[in-house]
């Protein structure tokens, strides 16, 4: 069931109130799940049941995406604002230093939260911010084209396309290696989420100058990249490993930019392995 939470964030224009939608399930150590630009928390549903077997799982619609309200007027959608805001959300939800897993924009935010000491571990799936300028321009162009397509297609056309594997590939093939595996309902919902994302343009504008250049010390970090990522090529994972030398770099065979649907079991295992890396070694004797 979707819930909402309101919390105070610090911004360049002073304290403001933000309200986000989220889904929470399970019990145990908390795991915060962050989606990519234009998406919504439902992108994580292929893996949430597995994670929730042993963890308190909180999947969030980022501000300005999914069912979450946009940030208050004048509040920037940049890392220095949004990453601490997610820390404030966790405090409001009674969660202290969760494990965090993020995809694309969510991966970049997860790393920023790790750098700020707000989390116990970081799993970043094809995180943004490790691109060359040419790669960034390509990715932003592809995202804008997807958004324009979502705006241009009337709902009946989206629903008709979603009912065939070819149509699902046309709508979501940029981000999934196996778009035919998405259900028609899921494809319609994520196309509408992309169309209605009030934070899309502001987030892209804020991301134009983003380069993640700092280490993330003190917490386990896994960077995982789909071998069939068409949006952010997997060579960016090598750059990420150079930036964060202590990180574990993992290949995701057969996966695209949003790997949770392409191989849910593998993605869940990568997240759980990273979370377990924080557990103390068992006492012998």
Can you give the three-state secondary structure of the chain, one letter per residue? CEEEEEEEECCCCCCEEEEEEEEEECCCEEEEEECCCCCCHHHHHHHHHHHHCCEEEEEECCCCCCCCCCCCCCCCCCHHHHHHHHHHHHHHCCCCCCEEEEECHHHHHHHHHHHCCCCCEEEEECCCCCCCHHHHHHHHHHHHHHHHHHHHCCHHHHHHHHCCHHHHHHHHCCCCCCHHHCCHHHHHHHHHHHHCCCCHHHHHHHHCCCCCCCCCCCCCEEEEEECCCCCCCCHHHHHHHHHCCCCEEEEECCCCCCHHHHCHHHHHHHHHHHHHCCCCCCCCC
Res 245: pLDDT: 96
Res 15: pLDDT: 94
Res 9: pLDDT: 93
Q: If the chain, 285 residues long, is cut into consecutive pieces of 10 residues, what is the mean pLDDT of each piece?
A: 94 94 97 98 97 98 98 95 97 96 98 97 98 97 97 97 96 95 96 97 94 95 98 97 97 98 97 84 44
Res 232: pLDDT: 98
Q: Per CATH, the architecture of 2-132+205-276 is what?
A: 3-Layer(aba) Sandwich (3.40)
């Amino acid at each position: 069931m979707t819930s909402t939470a309101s919390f105070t964030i610090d911004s360049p224009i002073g304290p403001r109130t933000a309200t986000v939608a989220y889904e929470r399930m399970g019990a145990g150590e908390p795991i915060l799940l962050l989606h990519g630009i234009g998406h919504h928390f439902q992108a994580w549903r292929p893996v949430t049941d597995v994670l929730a077997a042993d963890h308190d799982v909180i999947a969030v619609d980022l501000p300005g995406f999914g069912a979450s309200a946009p940030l208050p007027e004048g509040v920037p959608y940049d890392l220095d604002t949004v990453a601490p805001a997610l820390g404030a959300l966790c405090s409001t939800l009674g969660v202290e230093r969760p494990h965090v897993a993020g995809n694309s924009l969510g991966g970049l935010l997860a790393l920023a939260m790790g750098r700020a000491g707000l989390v116990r571990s970081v799993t970043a799936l094809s995180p943004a911010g490790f691109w060359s300028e040419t790669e960034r321009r390509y990715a932003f162009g592809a995202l804008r084209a997807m958004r324009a397509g979502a705006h241009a297609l009337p709902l009946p056309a989206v629903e008709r396309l979603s009912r065939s594997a070819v149509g699902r590939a046309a709508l979501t093939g940029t981000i999934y290696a196996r778009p035919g595996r998405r259900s028609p309902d899921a494809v319609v919902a994520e196309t509408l989420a992309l169309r209605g994302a009030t934070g899309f343009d502001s987030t892209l504008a804020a991301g134009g100058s983003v380069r993640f250049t700092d280490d993330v010390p003190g917490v386990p970090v896994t960077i995982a990249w789909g071998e069939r990522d068409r949006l952010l090529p997997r060579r960016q994972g090598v750059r990420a490993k150079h930036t964060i030398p202590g990180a574990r770099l993992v290949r995701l065979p057969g996966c695209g930019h949003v790997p949770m649907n392409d191989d849910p079991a593998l993605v869940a295992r990568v997240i759980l392995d990273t979370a377990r890396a924080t557990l103390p070694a068992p006492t012998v004797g």
